[in-house]
Amino acid sequence: MTKRDEAVGALIDELRHQGIDEDTVLSAIRSVPRADFVSLLDRQAAYANRPLPIGEGQTISQPYIVALMTQAAGVGRGDRVLEIGTGSGYQTAVLAEMGCVVYSIEIRPALARRAAKLLDRPSWATHLRTGDGNVGWPSAAPFAAILITAAARGLSPALAKQLRPGGRIVAPLGDTDGVQRLVVYEKDADGRLEQTDLGGVRFVPLVSD
């Protein structure tokens, strides 16, 4: 067994202990090489269950948060997912590894270019765009899930409109300079959003034009 296998195995055990029990999510976390999405200086810590810097004041989320958001989204193979904030591309890769068709928007061009190179794999169905994620991707809607990977004070009406009935939005909402709440919105058949609070989190602020 390699050091990577040992580190990944320990991470999977920790995620199970933290309540991640969807095998498809854990399998994707196991398969996607997180070390590819962090800086060379942080490679040794790639499978530690904590966030790491990726430049431009941004971070790659800790694996637990990635797994929690993915599990909360309730998506699977063939589902169309919108991600607001590509960042390193790691969350995108986990969704793509599960067989989702991922549309991801990043406002920072340098991060977008770097992620595009990492996500260029024939087995991953990813569509990337540089721009303001608050407007969403109307031409690709409706989505089975929308994941927002940066903190906002409220939910964009444009994003809510692009969610299909039965779909879910997973987003950190609240004070963008402090602790937020990780919220899941599920759209019912009448278009109403039912809210579930998954607890406190800390994300970098969502940037818009």
Residues forming the active site:
61
Question: What dihedral angle (degrees, nearest 10) is formed by the CA atoms of 172, 175, 176, 180?
Answer: -30
How does DSSP classify residue 113? H
Which pairs count as long-range contacts for 6-11, CB under 8 Å and 24+ apart, including other chains?
A: 7/46, 7/47, 8/47, 10/47, 11/47, 11/48, 11/49, 11/63
Compute the distance between CA of residue 81 and CA of residue 97 in angstroms, rounded to an integer: 13
Instruction: Give the residues across from 127 on adjacent strands.
Output: 103
Count of CB atoms within 10 A of residue 136's CB? 22
Backbone angles phi, psi at 38, to 5 degrees: -115, 170
